[in-house]
Chain A
Amino acid sequence: MISAPRVVDLSAEIRGAWCGRLLAEQGADVVLVESRSGHPLRSVGPFVGGVPDPEKSLVFAHYCAGRRSVVLDPADEAGRARLAGLAGWADVALVDRADRLALADAAAAANPRLIVATVTCFGRTGPDRAREGGDLVATAAGGLAALTGDPARAPLRPGGHQGEHVAGLHAAVAITAAVLTRDLGAGVASIDVSAQECVASVLENAMEFALLDGRRVARQNGRHPISWPGRVFPCRDGYVVISCGSAAEARACFDLVGDAAMAGHAVLEDRDTRRAAADWLEPLLIDGLLKHDEIDLFERGQALGIPIGRVLDARSLLDDPQLAARSFFREIDHPAIGRFTDVGSPFVVDGAAPSLRRAPLLGEHTAEVEKMLEGVSR
């Protein structure tokens, strides 16, 4: 039986923490190294109770779930020895800030077989390599903020730390490929992931327009650049999002709101003509949508073959019958936070969603891990 990959998690940002959670969810044994004051995400809210408390940060509880916590201080001799012990035990060391690369180097020195994975904001080479940043900087640097929002107003970072998520996801891919390759007999020494480049990799075709055509895809206030309708629309009691690729789908949108004249209009026939006419088509469609409710539009729209979705928030997401039917959400019992619900695994393997242990209390496993390391000789 092959053992679970062992990861020493030296992360400080959401991207590394998210990568660690993804790996843990797939069975990796992840040990989180914290300072005495705790992982930096412990000081980021929202906090349960509204007051900063290192055991009540939902950011830490969410992103750092699935691992054990060890407190050590690399500035002192004992801390360095403990870190070297962990590095000797691990298959992978994970670092996500430029100012922590010395930790990665120290870990590598302690274990020549260690895969050192860094997922810094700008990567380990190039003139900007020492620049730090979290989600705002990553989405600004990688081209996503420039594409999001109103062209007349400030570019927007998408909600929910997406720049950090794409970096953590790509890092998890590269790390898993490296571990797999090593288990097949070949050694990977290091992985250098750039959050900026990860963001630039998920821009749909904006990079291709820039590289191949010298053209800039401007932000369009949520409108799809190529097809119409393709955006969030208001309706009577909320919002729906519609994204049509074909003339038949666009026609069906006007059928959905009972506008037979527009449904038969010749302007809808061609994709580029439809998109060019968006400014006068849109108010007509919105007029119709405002007379109907979100769920009604979603159900009838789907029956008409329209790619239409509701705009779910955290509350309605929990009520979504599809996610509920596939047991997506996870109930967490946390000693300081109490009971709460978290999003679950992004996928299911052989019909089962993996379990994931709750986020650790600060230093909860220091003694346990110390004992484990005493028994390790590699």
Chain B
Amino acid sequence: MKRARLLDGIHVVELTTAFAGPYAGKLLGDLGADVVRVESARRPDIMRGYPPSLLPDGPERSGSFSSINRNKRSVALDLKTPGGRGAIARLIERADVLIENFTPRVLPSLGLDPATLHATNPRLVICRMPGFGLDGPHAAYRSYGPTLEGQAGLAALTGYPGEAPLRMGCSYPDMVGGVTAAFAVLSALRRRIGTGRGAAIELPQQRAAAALTGTAVAEWTASRRIAERAGNAHAWHVPHGTYRCAGDDRWIAISVRDETGWRALAEIAGLPPMDLSARQRARASIDEAIERWTIGQDADVLAGALCARGIEAQPIRGALDLVRDPHIAARGFIESIDHPLHGARPYAGPPWRIAGVAIDPHRPAPRLGEHTDEVLGEIGYTPDDIAALRAEEALT
């Protein structure tokens, strides 16, 4: 018997750029949905030029694009032409989901405002991902991931104690905006089984990131305390930090979250007995003592020894370490995807394993417009129609 497929028959149209929208589509594609990107050579997605490059130049060079757009199909449409507009309207008419992350004015300017779309396709789940909101005082303001880290209250929480706020080492709001959008879309699709109706989701990226500030707002309003930047320290877990080990820029993270963990660490590291309140007072000297102990040791060996004693510890792994990590390899997290222009290349797979349903092997990211004819054919365009659109220069 053929096993059922995950998200079988869910059709997603992506009108997206950069990271946030495409990451939502990537996750849905990983879960088995059919994801069609609408793009144009006249205004290529900035991701098509984002490093690292796998080719000297051109729109197919980007390894970042290939990673975040795997599994998808690409339809080239110039939405400034009547033919391009007609084609996207038909594509959305038969879709289950539309994801877009342009500024709020773009969708209505293309004649694709949610009311119009729902009039022809009431089952459509529309997910819009503006930087700040579809309206409100900052709706027209510009944002990128790093600026949203500030506007969402995340940068204020990150940094060394007593020093300036720091942005994280990645465009975090973009990425978490994408995951949140995938969740919003799937939740709406599930509700649709009951109601028969789609939804209009507004997912401002500032809002999605501000939802990740943890207890900072609760603490301010309940206790009039502003959570200070604390480096790696944790007010209630001591010790809790990253400590230098032997070698160039090698570190170990050690986290003691209960008295059992503390007793085990104190024993192996030769630290005196102390209860939590004593440790909270002596935080700095404990950290110094631990680093004196770790600095000559190999981070991997030490982490193994600490974990074996039930102490939470982990070497600081950079992406390059992960690529060579035996645990990552054993889980099959890195997969090879064969691309017609790049050859077989390694990429990180999805962060989950799902048992009980079939999931197709991942396909390479699409070349710009690779599936234009195929997808237009599926939505009822004849070869003659397609030739006419091409003559009109709508398919570029």
Contacts and interface: CB of A to CB of B under 8 A. Distances in A.
A340 B222 contact: yes
Contacts of A204: 19, 145, 170-171, 174-175
Given A313-B216, A347-B202, A184 B8 contact: yes
B181 to A, nearest CB: 8
Contacts of B141: 302
Interface in A317-357: 317-318, 320-323, 325-326, 328-329, 332, 337-351
A251 to B, nearest CB: 15
Given A145-B253, A176-B190, A210-B318, A314 B219 contact: yes
Nearest to B26: A201
- The 9 nearest A-B residue pairs measured at CB: A147-B169, A159-B157, A186-B4, A189-B356, A309-B147, A197-B351, A2-B194, A140-B253, A241-B150
Nearest to A242: B147
A66 interface: no
A187 B184 CA distance: 22
B314 A141 contact: yes
A270 B176 CA distance: 30
B183 A133 contact: no
Nearest to B202: A348
24 contacts: A126-B331, A140-B317, A141-B314, A144-B170, A150-B160, A154-B232, A162-B172, A166-B176, A192-B352, A207-B67, A210-B323, A211-B345, A212-B54, A214-B320, A241-B147, A308-B142, A312-B152, A314-B217, A317-B216, A318-B221, A322-B133, A323-B210, A341-B221, A342-B218
A26 B150 contact: no
A310 B150 contact: yes
Interface string A138-156: 0111111111111101111
Contact of A187 (B147, B182, B242, B357): B357
Given A207-B347, A232-B167, A241-B149, 16 more contacts: A58-B219, A124-B353, A137-B312, A144-B169, A156-B166, A157-B232, A162-B212, A174-B31, A192-B352, A194-B331, A204-B171, A210-B320, A211-B346, A212-B52, A217-B318, A323-B206
Contacts of A184: 8-9, 193
A173 B316 contact: no
B369 interface: no
A1 interface: yes
B150 A180 contact: no
Contacts of B231: 154, 156
B52 A205 contact: yes
Interface stretch (B35-43, B78-86, B233-241, B374-382): B233-241
A333 B361 CA distance: 49
Interface stretch (A75-83, A219-227, A254-262, A276-284): A219-227
A146 B168 CA distance: 10
Interface in B300-324: 307, 312-323
Interface of B: 3-9, 19, 27, 31-32, 46, 50-52, 54, 63-64, 66-67, 132-133, 135-139, 141-160, 164-172, 174-176, 179-184, 186-191, 193-194, 199-204, 206-208, 210-223, 225-227, 229-232, 234-237, 240-244, 249, 251, 253, 255, 257, 307, 312-323, 326-328, 330-331, 333-334, 345-348, 350-357
A116 to B, nearest CB: 9
A288 interface: no
Contacts of A7: none
A184 B192 CA distance: 11
B216 to A, nearest CB: 4
Which residue, A190, A201, A215, A348, has most C-beta atoms of chain B within 10 A? A201
A191 interface: yes
A193 interface: yes
Given A134-B255, A160-B216, A207-B67, A309 B148 contact: yes
A191 to B, nearest CB: 5
Given A176-B183, A191-B352, A326 B194 contact: no
B354 A191 contact: yes
B169 A220 contact: yes
A197 B170 CA distance: 15
Interface size class of A (residues with CB under 8 A): 35 or more
B218 A58 contact: yes
Contact of B318 (A201, A216, A313): A216
B158 A205 contact: no
Contacts of A193: 351-352
B395 to A, nearest CB: 28
Contacts of A139: 253
Interface of B is mostly: mixed
Interface string A170-209: 1111101111110111111111111011101111111111
Contact of A166 (B138, B179, B202): B179
B318 A147 contact: yes
A82 to B, nearest CB: 26
Contact of B142 (A124, A127, A181, A306): A306
Contact of B206 (A48, A157, A221, A322): A322
A191 B30 CA distance: 14
Contacts of B314: 131, 133, 137, 140-141
A310 B7 CA distance: 40
Nearest to B219: A46
A27 B354 CA distance: 23
Nearest to A141: B314
Nearest to A324: B136
A227 B97 CA distance: 33
Contacts of B194: 1-2
A140 B158 contact: no
B27 A206 contact: no
Contacts of B150: 232, 239-241, 309-312
Nearest to A315: B220
Given A313-B226, A315-B220, A348-B202, A165 B176 contact: yes
Contacts of A161: 214
A61 B221 CA distance: 13
A374 interface: no
A126 B141 CA distance: 46
Nearest to B234: A136
Contacts of A128: 307, 327
A245 interface: yes
A191 B356 CA distance: 9
Contacts of A185: 4
A147 B251 CA distance: 13
A160 B169 contact: no
B322 A155 contact: no
Contacts of B357: 181, 186-188
Contacts of A206: 169-170, 318-319
Given A162-B212, A311-B156, A313-B216, A148 B169 contact: yes
B152 to A, nearest CB: 7
B8 A347 contact: no
Contact of A148 (B158, B227, B352): B158
Given A145-B253, A323-B210, A314 B317 contact: no
